[in-house]
Amino acid sequence: MLKVLLVDDEAPILNNLNRVLPWQDMGMVVAGMARSGMDALRIAEEEHPDLVLCDIRMPVMDGLTFVGKLREMGLNSEVLLITGYQEFDYAREAIRLGVKEYICKPIHYEELGNKLRDIGVQIRSRQYKDKLYNSIPMFQEIPAAESEHTKKTTEQLMNTAVQYITEHLNLDIGIDEVAHKLGISGSYFCLLFKNRFAMTFVEYVTLQRMEAAKFMLVHSDKSITTIGSGVGYQERRYFTKVFQKQTGMSPKEYRDLKRTEAR
């Protein structure tokens, strides 16, 4: 059973999240509930949750600050944010902290359940891959000049890479650029990246750009051209082509659909 931590300063919402969702059917168990970021950190330190469902707007310590503290503790729990914010800065910061999913208020519990099931699949898949990866002597393939320095800091290298990618989503970034930032060769960077994320560098960058674009399309009134430029696509036509390939619909169709669903 995957362990879940629920965090929301509003008791009715917290109780509804605990009662309404079919946690057991989803292969999950609520390991703790907290009404503040500080309480949530204490629970997280004890329980090491696989998944955190957290409101982004809370007094004293907001959701993003809480997630940042969670990462500082070394916990890589998947995070689903409950949000009403409409600014890209929040989307960018959320992506930098490893938040891949969000749901808008008012909460649609069927949609939330579907997202949680998808996240559960991702977590179990990652856990399986990590277990498999750790059971294989991968370092036999690492060039000797790099082995001693990097095998102990692979997670740090990848975290730095993810942060760099997130902060430069609006620019034309490449493998050699990021590898140089990390101080390793491009070929070795590709090996580490593929083993860690189960996708290529280009696939990952495209995915993060599309996630940021989807967030902005739903939570802001910025033009599609502006949003495309904000995630690294200077030509609206090319942005639309990539977005359609990833989602099956154009940016405008996606925005219209999500806003209709929110009514």
For residue 78, the cross-strand partners are 51
Residue with tokens 């599609």: 224
- pTM reported for the whole predicted model: 0.54
Which ranges constitute the DSSP H helices of the chain?
11-20, 37-47, 63-72, 88-96, 109-134, 144-150, 154-167, 175-182, 186-197, 201-219, 224-230, 236-247, 251-262
- Indicate the SS3 state at residue 204: helix
CA distances from residue 180 to 50, 155, 160, 161, 198 in whole angstroms, order as listed: 33, 17, 12, 10, 22
Residue 7 host element (H or E): strand 2-7
Task: Categorize the per-residue pLDDT at 146 as very low, low, confident or very high, splitting at 50, 70 and 90.
Answer: very low
Q: Give the span between the Cα atoms of 57 and 87, in whole angstroms.
A: 13
Task: Categorize the per-residue pLDDT at 140 as very low, low, confident or very high, splitting at 50, 70 and 90.
Answer: very low
Q: Mean pLDDT throughout 120-142? A: 59
pLDDT reported for residue 254: 93
Q: Mean pLDDT throughout 35-53? A: 92
DSSP assignment, residue 25? T
Asked if 151 contacts 142 with a C-beta cutoff of 8 angstroms, the reply is yes
